[in-house]
Amino acid sequence: MNKIRLDSLRLISLLLACVIPLTASAVQKSNEPDLFALRAENSFDPATIDAIGDKVVDWQLANLDNFSSYMRNYRENTAHRRGWVHGAMYVGMMNWAALPGNEQYIAPLRKIAEEEEWKLGDRLFHGDDHIVGQMYLAFYEMDKDRDMIDHTIRQLNQILVANPQGSLEFLGDSIHGVGWECQLRWCWCDALFMSPQTWIGLSLALGEPQYLEYADREFWATTDYLLDPETHLYFRDSRYFDRRDEAGNKIFWSRGNGWVYAGLVNILRIFPQDHPSYPKYVQLYKDMSATFASLQRDHGFWSPSLLDQSPNPTPETSGTGFITYGLAWGVNNGHLDAGAYGPVVRKGWSALVSAVADDGKLGWVQPIGAAPDSVFETDSQLYGVGAFLLAASQVIGLE
């Protein structure tokens, strides 16, 4: 069968930053209902992956205005279109829309960007409010319309001038809240998915190095602070350094480490390979990959708490989605051995597919939080969909 390849338009914010081999059948849309029904048996067929991914996107787009009907512990900020909850979905959808035959999903994202006037979130320094800039940079790379990134430029320039240098310790007070001061920087691991790629992407878009150098400096400051050298996993923030679970294990949150790992991949996809820091990112990626491979549970998911070895582990799709994405990207791009890691990817993808209902709703997504918590089959969230689509966009090209 002839091979086709993604057109690498160098969409800096992850749209087409790397080339993935696909079989021709991957771009042929199918309306056959039994294709989706047979997902468990044919979950690695490109046409099946394509159909499942479309089903998940279509369900989510049709349910963007009734969150409280399917989100346990619904929070009002979930509805903020420029926030991290939506932003993580945008990153996944932009990757999915980059696949041949999926161009129809670009239009709803462009509509959102236009309605939000191409603005970042309202909190100047907070990394979570920078993630939407990754989508704006992708559209800028398509259209070269500077209005799409003007607000991003102005916001990041203000941060460069302020140059926050405070402690990364997650402290606070009763007035401002816990962690308010350190969040002027990236003092929680989730931020490494949300912000650095916007900084690096802007640097590449404008040809100005100061944004990349800031992101590189802050990424390693956070990593030096939060990375556990024994496991190559990240504590969510400094509050977890000394916390242990009931079995005495360190607490490493699956989604938190998934944020870091997927963010690390998204950095590697656009980071200049001749930069002195590039080998450090690659080594960190390989170290984390080995740890993740060793911690996958028998059912294919990663536990909400990564070191939890309870006999009946709870499925969780957001962490599993990000991890599967990262591992599949490494196999596709020669960073990871296909013989060793391919089975881990396939097991993870099979688990993710099992969490998709026939109508396309993704289940088993742990609600918003900062640590391992309860999760049920009925739980869904936008960031879980983003993680699923990132995984799908790489698994579809897996040999």
Which residues are tagged catalytic? Answer: 190
Closest to 144 (Cα-Cα) out of 251, 55, 264, 11: 11
Closest to 125 (Cα-Cα) out of 59, 56, 194, 58: 194
Return all residues near 311 (Cβ < 8 A) that are at least 6 apart.
Answer: none
- Helix H, strand E, coil C: the string for the chain is CCEEECCCCCCCCCCCCCCCEEEHHHHCCCCCHHHHHCCCCCCCCHHHHHHHHHHHHHHHHHCCCCHHHCCCCCCHHHHCCCCHHHHHHHHHHHHHHCCCCCHHHHHHHHHHHHHCCCCCCCCCCCHHHHCHHHHHHHHHHHHCCHHHCHHHHHHHHHHHHHCCCCCCCCCEECCCEECCCHHHCCCCCCHHHHCHHHHHHHHHHHCCCHHHHHHHHHHHHHHHHHEECCCCEECCCHHHCCCECCCCCECCEHHHHHHHHHHHHHHHCCCCCCCCCHHHHHHHHHHHHHHHHHHCCCCCCCCCECCCCCCCCCCCHHHHHHHHHHHHHHHHCCCCCHHHHHHHHHHHHHHHHHCECCCCCECCCCCCCCCCCCCCCCCCCHHHHHHHHHHHHHHCCCC
Return all residues near 341 (Cβ < 8 A) that are at least 6 apart.
Answer: 289, 293, 327, 330, 331
Residue 27 burial (10 A CB sphere; 0-12, 13-18, 19+): middle
| Token pair of 185 as six digits | 């920087």
| Token pair of 315 as six digits | 């499925």
